[in-house]
Amino acid sequence: MKGLNRLHINRYYRQMLMWKTKRLKNSQVLAVLSFIVGICCGLAAVILKNIVSYTYNLITSWSFVTADRGNFLFLMYPMIGIAITVLIVRYVIKDDLSHGVSKVMFAISRKGGKIAPHNCWSSMLTSSITVAFGGSVGLEAPIVYTGSAIASNISRFFRLNSHLTTLLIGCGAAGAIAGAFKAPIAGILFAFEVLMLDLSMVSVLPMLISAITAAMIAYFFLGPDAQFSYSVTTPFELAKIPSFIILGVVSAIISLYYFRVNGFVTKMFRKLNAVWKIIVGGILLGTMVYIFPPLFGEGYAGLNELLKNDISSLLTNSFFFEMKDNLYLVILISLAIVLIKAFATTITCASGGVGGVFAPSLFIGGFVGFFVARLINVLGIGVSVEESNFVLVGMASVMAGIMYAPMTSIFLIAEITGGYALFAPLMISTTICYLVVRSVNRYSIYAQPLAKHGDLMTHNKDKTAIHFMDKSKILETNFYKLNEDDTLRDIVRAVENSSRSFFPVVDKDNNFKGVIVLDDVRGVLFHSEFYDKLKVKSFMRYSEYFIADINDSMEKIVKKFKGVDRYTIIILDKGKFVGCMSRANVFLAYQNFIHNNSDE
């Protein structure tokens, strides 16, 4: 009976696919599926935020020592969260969940958009445990990974091609950010800037549907309040431009500092085994959180306190509470939090925790903005500035410097604050920070590991087209092969039985030795007296410039064609002749890809 039901399901599934192919255009399919993805992403954001909130409230209700210096349990919470996360990842999920956004980019670049089904829930589960127990990372990257995985598997279910799958993954990413912050424009820009998808009307519309749907779902379940509640009361003044320029420069310095810390800590933790990573990471992170409570978890509560100019609440349960009225000490504490947060975030990830750098970049930026504004006001440098405005602008600046997403940063802050009163200073500081950091580091924190291994796709359509070419469809294998011990007579026979202008030469084990080019033997082809005297070796050519391995990337193979006389590349597999790729066939495959994936 079960087998019969399965047959019925398979039949209905095939009928549904046939109906979709015959009756619906790709744009209609994307519109419907992007709406479904938006619902899923909005629900994922709501569920993840609630899980973290409930878990945090549960573990903090166990506190039995509450004093100005904090709760001693906070020394242990991060290690417990990381340990639980590592155990789940290793023995239940059995896959690497770190660097969620980078994994999405890798899936787009190298896997045709295929993301494992378990990623629809695994990142949510593990990141919620990491963050709820004090891991100093964000939930946005896991939500993006989750939304992208949902989109990828929906695409696989409906048998969409790689181009449509990539667009739907972009819808998942846009919906994830929109649901997390109730900021649909920022979600769409995130997909274009961070995932590096092409901007066109065909790609914008489904992402817009997904982002708005996810934001509405978040509104329905979480209410109208944004992640940060703030109303701009002090208008922008031209006299404050130098202060925002200073903020942009300082944000760039801190962003570069984060890159260096990330590289250093990651390198150090690679030398440790899994157990020592948990122990060392847990101890270091617990100590940091105990001394500086704002480092616990995402840190959004601390940012909200900064926006309210409530420094006393920010220092509650810390060693520095009694010094909250010391202006200079508060400045030093804010700088210390900025510098240590970079270590706390990287240590959380390097020791086995699951989370992203989205929230940490906002957190660091907010404290950088406060540090700069308070320093300007205390020292009396120029015009007095509104510290809460600098907190917001700093958030956008550092986010742009770390993630290389200036437009996403600007519109995110504009959307979550409900207005564009800070648009000019946002553009000034964010642009300065982005340009300075980009001039030093070519790739963002997400793209850096992919670029290092040559796995990064960009807006460059040529590179994308070359990457997705199917080698098996370009490779030509119907060649008349010669043996290295053959004579001119065998060459004549090959010319008679083939339309090719060259012939591969191999030994008895099919190991490639060289090629015979027709032009090289044309002068002796009709001299029968030489048929048994001249050997193939006398005419054989061999050059590394014309040879590639079957396992080489298409990018590497195509580079072999750079040269006026390179029309054909010999393809080998561990030294054995496999076939050839011609420049004409590669160009035809390129044209077909561009045509099939055209947005027009």
Residue extents of the structural domains in the chain: 2-222, 238-455, 463-596
CATH class of this structure's domain 2-222: mainly alpha
> Is the pLDDT assigned to residue 565 strictly greater than 90?
no
**447: Cβ contacts below 8 Å, ≥ 6 apart:** 102, 105, 196, 404, 456
Instruction: Name the average pLDDT for the chain.
Output: 84
For residues 209 and 171, give the distance between their C-alpha atoms in angstroms, rounded to a whole number. Answer: 8
**Which element (helix H / strand E) includes 13?**
helix 2-23
- The pLDDT assigned to 596 comes to 62
Cα-based distances in Å from 285 to 80, 100, 402: 11, 21, 21
For residues 58 and 367, give the distance between their C-alpha atoms in angstroms, rounded to a whole number. Answer: 28
CA angle in degrees (0–180, nearest 5) for 103-108-109: 95
- The pLDDT assigned to 60 comes to 66
146-150, 573-577, 582-586: least confidently modelled range: 582-586
Most confident of 71-80, 152-161, 300-309: 152-161
- The pLDDT assigned to 297 comes to 85
Q: Which amino acid is at 424?
A: A
CA angle in degrees (0–180, nearest 5) for 136-114-346: 15
CATH class of this structure's domain 463-596: alpha beta
Half-sphere exposure of 383 (CA within 13 A, CB side): 12
Fold match between domain 2-222 and domain 238-455: yes
> Is the pLDDT assigned to residue 323 strictly greater than 80?
no
For residues 455 and 439, which has the higher predicted lDDT (pLDDT)? 439
Q: Crossing angle of helices 358-379/327-350, nearest 10°?
A: 160
Q: Which amino acid is at 373?
A: A
In this prediction, residue 360 has a pLDDT band, given cuts at 50, 70 and 90, of very high
**Neighbour count for residue 210 (Cβ, 10 Å):** 38
For residues 39 and 67, which has the higher predicted lDDT (pLDDT)? 39
- Asked if residues 466 and 552 have their Cβ atoms less than 8 Å apart, the reply is no
In this prediction, residue 64 has a pLDDT band, given cuts at 50, 70 and 90, of very low
- The pLDDT assigned to 96 comes to 83
Give the residue from 252, 241, 243 showing the smallest Cα distance to 373: 243
> Is the pLDDT assigned to residue 109 strictly greater than 80?
no
In 446-472, which positions are buried (b, 16+ CB within 10 angstroms) versus exposed (e)?
A: bbbbbeeeebbbeeeeebbbbbbbebe
- Asked if residues 73 and 63 have their Cβ atoms less than 8 Å apart, the reply is yes
So what's the architecture of 238-455 in CATH? Orthogonal Bundle (1.10)
For residues 310 and 570, which has the higher predicted lDDT (pLDDT)? 570
Q: What is the average per-residue pLDDT within 127-153?
A: 91
Task: Look at the block and give the residue holding tokens 């001693």.
Answer: 72
pLDDT digits (tens, 9 = 90+) for 267-317: 999 999 999 999 999 999 999 988 888 888 888 888 888 888 777 767 776
- % the chain with pLDDT above 90: 34
- The pLDDT assigned to 68 comes to 38
Phi, psi of 353 (to 5 degrees): -70, 160
- The pLDDT assigned to 350 comes to 93
- Under DSSP, the state recorded for 32 is H
For residues 93 and 149, give the distance between their C-alpha atoms in angstroms, rounded to a whole number. Answer: 15
- The pLDDT assigned to 457 comes to 64
- % the chain with pLDDT above 70: 86
CA angle in degrees (0–180, nearest 5) for 40-179-437: 125
Q: For the whole model, what pTM was predicted?
A: 0.81
- Asked if residues 131 and 344 have their Cβ atoms less than 8 Å apart, the reply is no
